[in-house]
Amino acid sequence: MTELDLEFSTSLTDDAGAFKLLELPPELCKLIETAVENLSPLRLSIKGQSGEDAVLCTNDATYTVRSVVLSNTILVVTPPAESSSADSVVIRDQVNEILELTPTVPKLHKLSTLLRGREYDDVHDSEDHQPSFEPGGLTYAAARATIQASDAELARGLRQQRILDIHGALRPIAPGYLTSILETILNLLVSQSIAPRAVPVEDIAATLADENEISRPVSTQVMTWFGDINDGVWTMDVAGVLREIGLGILRQYKNDSIAKDILLDKWKLAVGDTFEASVSLVLLSGNYLASPGAFGSSDLLTYFPSSSLPIDPPSRFIDLFLTRPRWKADDIAPFLSEIAVNTKDRDKLLLKYTRTTTDSQGVWYTKK
């Protein structure tokens, strides 16, 4: 066995606490090894402001950083200086904890707070009145630095929350205006006999600008939210477009209810004969509560978006059980997707915050 002499560093006091041990999960370890082998750049960043738990972000994933105390002390040692004995090592620091990384959902909820009052609509933001960047507005660069999310997750969050980049400022589009744009696009496709899978972006953007006063930057960004653009051709996500139009109708019933049959009729009328066969209540999952109608009539639906619930699990479950004392698995699952990384994580949350009961109607989740 090799014997080594231990020496204390002359900078031991300055180095104290300067070293941290980070335990890498298998997928992150593989990511780093692949980057090293291929000599490809890899960006890892720690994000978190005062009062927030730190997270580590890769290009496409976010991890919670948690300190775990070790039962044994680990010494950080380095090779000695050239003038010292080759059979010695220098003690630089001692470590009593490791930093553990756990996959987590991105913290995108701050976007709505930072962008409150900055909605983009057709009343104040016409083609003839495009405002310059307002002092205090949120830029993409600022959001990237502030929001605890990877670049890919932030881009997906901006898309899912329907946030435009207008003259350097991030601005959420007014829901009613977005619905109007999508309905106009569907009408254009039908009137010009254009297939949803092969939409010429420039032609549609030009028509929307000339005939409907919808600016090209807005219409183009909207198209990227609902499909893919390649070589100037938009492949429209039909289900996504229909879902947004359906939400526009359902959104009017936050403090009231609408019969399911009436909602479906209004929805089909809004999208037109060409697309009505694709209308399905499944598209609105996670955005409504259903209750039985009187005397066996159609179910009543109330607008109840998952996005309006608290992001932290304990508060979200409190709100869910204040809304309903018990939930079926299929009903509660859509309201947990934003706080669970995957179905396994969702099941852990259900196990932690709920208890199950069974009756003739099946399994129910109730407050623990």
How is residue 231 written in tokens? 């070589």
Q: How far apart are CA 325 and CA 16, in angstroms?
A: 53
CATH 2.60.40 domain span(s) along the chain: 5-104
Helix residue ranges per DSSP H, 134-272: 140-146, 151-160, 175-191, 201-212, 216-225, 238-250, 260-271
Query: Regarding the domain delimited by 309-368, which CATH topology (the fold level of the hierarchy) does it fall under?
Result: Arc Repressor Mutant, subunit A (1.10.10)
Q: How far apart are CA 115 and CA 118, in angstroms?
A: 6
CATH 1.10.10 domain span(s) along the chain: 309-368
Q: How far apart are CA 23 and CA 124, in angstroms?
A: 51
How is residue 289 written in tokens? 């509560």
Residue 6 · residue 79 · CB < 8 Å: no
Residue 94 · residue 77 · CB < 8 Å: no
pLDDT, tens only, 204-257: 999 999 999 999 999 999 999 999 999 999 999 999 999 999 999 999 998 889
The strand ranges marked E within 264-345 are 288-291, 300-303, 326-328
Quickly list DSSP for 57-102.
Answer: E-SS-EEEEEEEEEEEEEEEEEPPPTTS-TTEEEEEEEEEEEEEEE
Q: How far apart are CA 365 and CA 368, in angstroms?
A: 9
Q: How far apart are CA 100 and CA 44, in angstroms?
A: 15
Amino acid identity, residue 52? Answer: E
pTM score, whole prediction: 0.82
How is residue 329 written in tokens? 């698995």
Residue 77 · residue 91 · CB < 8 Å: yes
Question: Is residue 234 within a helix (H) or strand (E), and if so which, with residue range?
Answer: strand 233-236
User: β-pairing, 88-104 with 5-8?
Assistant: parallel
CATH number, span 5-104: 2.60.40
pLDDT, one tens digit for every residue, the chain (368 residues) = 677 777 777 676 666 777 888 999 999 999 999 999 998 888 899 999 888 899 999 999 999 999 999 888 888 888 877 656 667 888 888 888 999 999 999 999 899 889 998 999 876 665 444 444 455 689 999 999 999 999 999 999 999 999 999 888 999 999 999 999 999 999 999 999 999 999 999 999 999 999 999 999 999 999 999 999 999 999 999 999 999 999 999 999 988 899 999 999 999 999 999 999 999 999 999 999 998 887 777 899 999 999 999 999 999 999 999 999 999 999 999 999 999 989 999 999 999 999 999 988 889 999 99
